Amino acid sequence: MRYLHFLLALDLLYKYYPKFHSNELLILADDIWKWVNNELPEDSSTLVYLQSCFDSPYEAFKAVIREIELLAGPYFHWN
């Protein structure tokens, strides 16, 4: 269910949040995905940054998902 909630949050942000596709969160999520798949070189500054901020890729994904859900929160609850 959490995955569906995440997809709904992304869909709402795509519809109502201008230029969300270029948001830093999505760029960060892409870098984390590369980290998970071992696509980043060992001497990459991106890898060094991610490892300094997060203990594991799982923790990093949880942080990105939480931020996306916080951004989408107001769009879930219209007045």
Alpha carbon separation from 4 to 8, 10, 11, 65, 68 (Å, rounded): 6, 10, 10, 12, 13
The rounded distance, in Å, linking the Cα atoms of 62 and 13 is 18
Residue 62 has pLDDT above 80, yes or no: yes
pLDDT of residue 69: 78
Angle between helices 45-53 and 57-76 (to 10 degrees): 80
Summarize pLDDT for 2-56 with one digit per residue, the tens. Answer: 667 766 777 776 776 666 665 777 788 888 888 988 998 988 999 999 999 999 9
The rounded distance, in Å, linking the Cα atoms of 59 and 32 is 10
pLDDT of residue 20: 62
Tokens matching residue 39: 């696509």
Which sequence spans correspond to the domains of the chain? 1-7+28-79
Tokens matching residue 75: 């769009």
